[in-house]
Amino acid sequence: MYEKNVDRSCPGCIIFLVDQSFSMTDPFAGSPKSKCQAVASAINRFIGELITICERGEDKPRHYFDVGVIGYTTDQNNRPIIGSVLQGALAGWDLVSIVDLFDNCLDTEVRQNDQGADIFVPVWYQAPPPEQMAGTPMCGVFQRCRQIVSDWCGLHPNSFPPVILHLTDGESTDGAPEGIADDLRRLGTNDGPLLLFNCHLSASPSESVIFPTNEGQLIDEYAKILFRMSSPLPDKLQKMAQVKNLDAHPGSRGMAFNADATKMLMLISVGTTIASPQYLR
């Protein structure tokens, strides 16, 4: 399992599930940036880097990946709002190819690099305003993701299985998500079950836990639920975590609890190992 490389006949699939509840407007510990802003920056950074990786000296990047960014919240009457949060020409599409992303950048932001010089960074996803952020219908977003993944796997049975990156800072407000997450994780391709990574984002300065091997490392019951919901790390991803000096071992699960922005980026980096140049053909 998890042996397939990515090529244009067997593309990969990477889906972000983004908590857009009101608490995501809180800042990360030690950072002036809110959690929802940091998530948006991380997703835009990932898409930009993925486009670069898929370029092969041609006019456009090769269609090596389909990408989804699915947000979830509720309205003021607690009705779930779940769907793609890509905007502009890509609005409403659950999955888009890397070529579509290349062609349809939403905007650019000006930032400073390490030398203090201005750089222009492309943007595909922008966090919603706080008044549009409310509850956390986690069960609903896993159900939506299950349908998206089922359809994709039916079309790409010989591809590397989809990678799901769930970024959240709170507990579900529409029921217990563990059973639905288990159903989701049973989906996959001929190369293995999909990989579900759960990243709990924190405003707390308390110590984070990343890639635990057992529930005993976690004192919080919600952390234990996230552990059980997360996929075991395949050998390929475990080795990549070790290359990045992360404490990953046989039995490690794809989760981070009480993560700051740095740990979130680490989890995304390891989870999307299949997008590394050495695995593209």
CA-angle at 37, arms to 176 and 78, nearest 5°: 35
13 touches 148 (CB < 8 A): no
Give me the count of residues in the chain. Answer: 281
Q: Spell out the alpha helix ranges (H) of 59-210.
A: 98-103, 138-155, 178-185
Confidence of residue 100 (pLDDT cuts 50, 70, 90): very high
Give the CA dihedral 59, 160, 127, 201, nearest 10 degrees.
Answer: -140
132: left (phi over 0), alpha (psi -120 to 50) or beta: alpha
Give the CA dihedral 121, 129, 142, 237, nearest 10 degrees.
Answer: 30
158 touches 10 (CB < 8 A): yes
Distance CA 121, CA 101 (A): 14
103 touches 16 (CB < 8 A): no
Give the CA dihedral 52, 56, 61, 63, nearest 10 degrees.
Answer: -110
- How do beta strands 12-19 and 65-74 pair? parallel
Token readout for 259 is 């993560």
Distance CA 28, CA 87 (A): 25
* Per-residue pLDDT tens over the stretch 205-254: 778 899 999 998 888 888 999 999 999 999 989 988 888 888 889 999 99
Distance CA 25, CA 31 (A): 12
Q: Is the pLDDT of residue 112 over 70?
A: no
What is the 3-state composition of the chain as percent helix, strand, coil, each rounded to the nearest 5?
35, 25, 40
Q: Return the axis-axis angle of helices 261-271 and 35-54, rounded to nearest 10°.
A: 30
* Per-residue pLDDT tens over the stretch 20-73: 999 999 988 667 889 999 999 999 999 999 999 999 888 899 999 999 999 999
Distance CA 275, CA 209 (A): 24
Confidence of residue 15 (pLDDT cuts 50, 70, 90): very high
- Give percent of the chain above pLDDT 90: 73
Token readout for 200 is 């709990």
| DSSP per-residue string spanning 242-263 | HHTT----TT-BSEEEEE-HHH
Terminal alpha carbon distance of the chain? 18
User: How many CB atoms are located within 10 Å of the residue 64 CB?
Assistant: 24
Confidence of residue 262 (pLDDT cuts 50, 70, 90): confident
| Predicted pLDDT of residue 27 | 87
The set of residues, in sequence order, having a beta carbon less than 8 Å from that of 239 and lying 6+ positions away, is none
